[in-house]
Amino acid sequence: MSAACQQLTEMASGGVAPALRAVDCVANEMAASAFGRMFGAGGAMGPVLTILLTLYIAFFAFSLLTGRSSLGISALSPRMLRLGVVLTFATSWIAYQGVVWNLAIGGPDWIAGLLMGAKGSATQLFGDRIDIVFQAINDISEATSKAGGAEAAQPAAGGAAVAAVAAKGAGGLFTPESVMWMGALLLLLGTVGVLLTARIALAVLLAIGPIFVVMALFGGTRGLTAGWLRGVVLTAVTPLFVVLGGGITLELLVPIISGLVRSANGGEIDGRGAMAFFLVASVHVALMMMVVKVAATMVSGWQVFGLAGSDKDKGSAPAQAGVPVPASVQAPAVSAFQSRTSTVSAAAAAATGAVNVVGSEAALRGADRRTVITQVTGGGIEPLRQGDSGPRARGIGSRFRSASNDPGKLPAKETIR
């Protein structure tokens, strides 16, 4: 650790703003040292990167030999762009710090400062305002303690002062001072706790980021890169919401703290003011929980530059897997199938009619005869004519004709015994 970061770490207990400065300095140094140990000069992951790049080029050459890929702009442009991005961010700390680190940490801070109209870092300004609030609460508690000590030091006239002090201490945890301190703890957790947690998590993600950048080379590991980018965006956007929401909370707390200071100068803490302070702090904690949930929902819907598709796309992929057949190809096959089906149906109808006719003649004559159908021809399909009209001409039955009325077709041969 450098001397500057060590000095900031020693001063981190002095307030919220010094703690944020110390976390940023330590996180930057940790990310730089981790990058140097992995992909820097003589880093442990240098040979691994060489092997992965060799495999990537070998897989592409194999796809060219097998005909799965072609040498064209549409095939080479995304591959070359992916290789350039991976080599740039995995081998150069200057490029990684200048793009990824500055966008993840400096981008939300710049947006917050632009919205709040602050000059400089909006996060540091927010930390300074939080320090002012806690300093005011500490002064209120000290003023109340001094007033109570002075009152207890005075001689008790008829035991009235002793009874007043005993009655004052009988409130237990629900005294105005204890309620004020509980509100201060909630406010501390909802502001400093969320800010420091998001900054530390972001520092860890950025420190191991080059590993996930390399994973973008292959399709099987590209989802890990997408998940890493979502985590970086989530931890980077959370401080932005904390600073903006905390600024509104601090504006609500200013008149409440002013009333508590005036009541503490009078010798006691106003109970209504303490309850109002506790309520605003509780609302701020609920707001921070909602902010984290909203940020997670926003990030989960991000497609991450096409690195990983959504579940909806995956669910609809099998339905789109089939290749549609052109209508020009489908038409001959369908017409031929319909022609064969119609021919078979007409033949079956003609055979059934012949059997019924012979059966009726046999019943009339009263003789024992048997009809055997040896061959059935005919039953062709008559195409529709332009002149046909009427419901009978347009019906399905008008398409079929019997074998005897079909010109050019031989009648069915029958053998009667």
CB 83 within 8 A of CB 199: no
Kindly state whether residues 333 and 203 are assigned to the same domain. no
SS3 state at 373: strand
Kindly state whether residues 355 and 301 are assigned to the same domain. no
Report helix, strand and coil shares of the chain as percent, to nearest 5: 75, 5, 20
Kindly state whether residues 403 and 373 are assigned to the same domain. yes
- Per-residue pLDDT, averaged over 98-111, amounts to 88
Does the structure show a pLDDT above 90 at 413? no
Report the domain count for the chain: 2
Does the structure show a pLDDT above 80 at 334? no
Instruction: Give the pLDDT of residue 341.
Output: 47
Asked whether residue 273 is assigned to any structural domain, the reply reads yes
Does the structure show a pLDDT above 80 at 333? no
Residue 241 corresponds to which amino acid? F
Asked whether residue 227 is assigned to any structural domain, the reply reads yes
Asked whether residue 318 is assigned to any structural domain, the reply reads no
Kindly state whether residues 266 and 338 are assigned to the same domain. no
CB 414 within 8 A of CB 373: yes
Asked whether residue 196 is assigned to any structural domain, the reply reads yes
Determine the length of the chain. Answer: 417
Instruction: Give the pLDDT of residue 307.
Output: 67
SS3 state at 375: strand
CB 278 within 8 A of CB 186: yes
Kindly state whether residues 362 and 293 are assigned to the same domain. no
Kindly state whether residues 248 and 107 are assigned to the same domain. yes
Instruction: Give the pLDDT of residue 138.
Output: 86
pTM of the model: 0.66
SS3 state at 265: helix
Does the structure show a pLDDT above 50 at 305? yes
Instruction: Give the pLDDT of residue 147.
Output: 62
**How many Å apart are CA 174 and CA 275, to the nearest integer?**
10
What is the three-state SS of 270-316?
A: CHHHHHHHHHHHHHHHHHHHHHHHHHHHHHHCCCCCCCCCCHHHHHH
CB 209 within 8 A of CB 93: no
Least confident of 98-102, 160-164, 304-308, 409-413: 160-164
373 exposure class (CB count in 10 Å sphere: 0-12, 13-18, 19+): middle
Question: Which alpha helices (H) appear in 366-410, and where do they start and end?
Answer: 391-394
Kindly state whether residues 39 and 176 are assigned to the same domain. yes
- Give residue-wise pLDDT tens across range 7-38: 888 887 777 888 888 888 888 888 888 888 88
- Segment holding 413, helix H or strand E: strand 413-416
Residue 381 DSSP symbol:
B
Does the structure show a pLDDT above 80 at 244? yes
- Give residue-wise pLDDT tens across range 172-209: 567 888 888 898 899 988 888 898 899 899 999 998 98
Residue 133 DSSP symbol:
H
Residue range of the domain that includes 8: 3-150+171-309
Kindly state whether residues 245 and 390 are assigned to the same domain. no
Kindly state whether residues 371 and 228 are assigned to the same domain. no
Asked whether residue 165 is assigned to any structural domain, the reply reads no
Instruction: Give the pLDDT of residue 231.
Output: 92
Least confident of 152-166, 187-201, 259-273, 291-305: 152-166
Asked whether residue 72 is assigned to any structural domain, the reply reads yes
| Chosen domain end from 309, 340, 368 | 309
* Other beta carbons less than 10 A from residue 177's beta carbon: 21
108 exposure class (CB count in 10 Å sphere: 0-12, 13-18, 19+): buried
Average pLDDT, the chain: 74
Asked whether residue 322 is assigned to any structural domain, the reply reads no
Kindly state whether residues 145 and 229 are assigned to the same domain. yes
Instruction: Give the pLDDT of residue 313.
Output: 47
Asked whether residue 228 is assigned to any structural domain, the reply reads yes
Kindly state whether residues 41 and 146 are assigned to the same domain. yes
Instruction: Give the pLDDT of residue 102.
Output: 87
CB 408 within 8 A of CB 390: no
What is the three-state SS of 210-248?
A: HHHHHHHHCCCCHHHHHHHHHHHHHHHHHHHHHHHHHHH
Give 45 or 327, the one with higher predicted confidence.
45
Please identify which residue in the block is written with the tokens 């078979």.
344
Kindly state whether residues 348 and 395 are assigned to the same domain. yes
- Give residue-wise pLDDT tens across range 205-231: 998 988 999 988 888 888 898 899 999
Please identify which residue in the block is written with the tokens 């038409």.
331
**How many Å apart are CA 192 and CA 239, to the nearest integer?**
10
pLDDT band at 150 (very low <50, low <70, confident <90, very high): low
* Other beta carbons less than 10 A from residue 300's beta carbon: 10
- Give residue-wise pLDDT tens across range 359-407: 444 444 444 555 555 544 544 444 555 554 554 555 544 545 555 454 5
Cα angle, residue 121 at apex, residues 120 and 123 outer, rounded to 5°:
150
